[in-house]
Amino acid sequence: MLTHASFLLSGHGHGRPFEADATFRPDGQPKPVALFVHGFKGFKDWGHFPRLADFFAERGFVFVKLNLSHNGLVVGGTGDLEDLEAFARNNFSIELDDIGQVIDALFDGHSPVPAAEMDLTRLGLVGHSRGGGLVLLKAAEDPRVRAVATWAAIAEVHPHWPQAVFEEWQRTGVLHVPNTRTGQQLPMHYQIVEDYHANRPRLDIAHNVRRKLRQPLLLVHGDEDETVNVAAAHALHQLRPDAELLLVPGAMHMFGGAHPWPHQQLPEPARLVAEKTADFFLRTT
């Protein structure tokens, strides 16, 4: 039987609580660890993500996923985006630090997973969409990460919007983006742009993938992705020609998933991606 264990963290730099969980089969044997990072407007229990946790645990992993601290969820809340002020204050530096804090918790014994159940010399990061960009950046700065897989990843964090958009954003201090699933207008404060420019060496995906990322890399993308064009996968592959590239025919951005996801089985494209990723981690970590 699988164990599902949640744990709570408090952000070192901001003090905001955020939640993570681990899924594994407790058998006393050290297992590779896969840490999953959701994307923009996402969260750890979106759609079929809990089914992914079960899939990896059945394959012999400890599967950990987190809610990035400023993704709009509230610990003990509705389970969906509700704290829009926190969402507005988010930036990429905060998200990278959140991921690092979860990794620290695993290594320092501050997670509910017994040390005997984890082989932390076999830690892999997997991220979806914006989370894919984050795991590339985190792996480039953290040698504890032994392999990286991206699912429909962005190839850069700086959006190429017209200059007039940035000028208006800077003037008003806030830009709203629609969440088509919920109908919400999600605010983003201009500080996310300022944070990018202030920390560009850390946040420049192209620079870090080309110059600093040394771990084995798997790039997965649907060839009909409607949100992040498949060109992003090709751009990342040009930066790391030795990376493994998997293009999933007919797959869109969520690889067949939706929220809510009432089924016990993964959508078929997501199952294929999970299988390929699990095999990749078992081979490379």
Query: What are the tokens at 129?
Result: 């969409």
Residue 189 located in a structural domain: no
Query: What are the tokens at 242?
Result: 């030795």
Residue 192 located in a structural domain: no
How are beta strands 217-222 and 174-179 bridged, if at all?
A: unpaired
How are beta strands 174-179 and 184-189 bridged, if at all?
A: antiparallel
Residue 188 located in a structural domain: no
**Low-confidence residues in the chain, pLDDT < 70:** none
Q: What is the pTM of this model?
A: 0.98
Query: What are the tokens at 140?
Result: 């480039």
Q: What is the CATH number of the domain that holds 52?
A: 3.40.50.1820
Query: What are the tokens at 175?
Result: 């830009």
Residue numbers of the domain that contains 63: 3-157+201-284
CA-to-CA separations, 281 to 60, 75, 156, 200, in angstroms, rounded: 11, 31, 24, 29
How are beta strands 244-248 and 217-222 bridged, if at all?
A: parallel
Residue 62 located in a structural domain: yes
Structural domain count, the chain: 1
Q: What is the pLDDT of residues 119-164, one digit of tens each?
A: 999 999 999 999 999 999 999 999 999 999 999 999 999 988 999 9
Residue 183 located in a structural domain: no
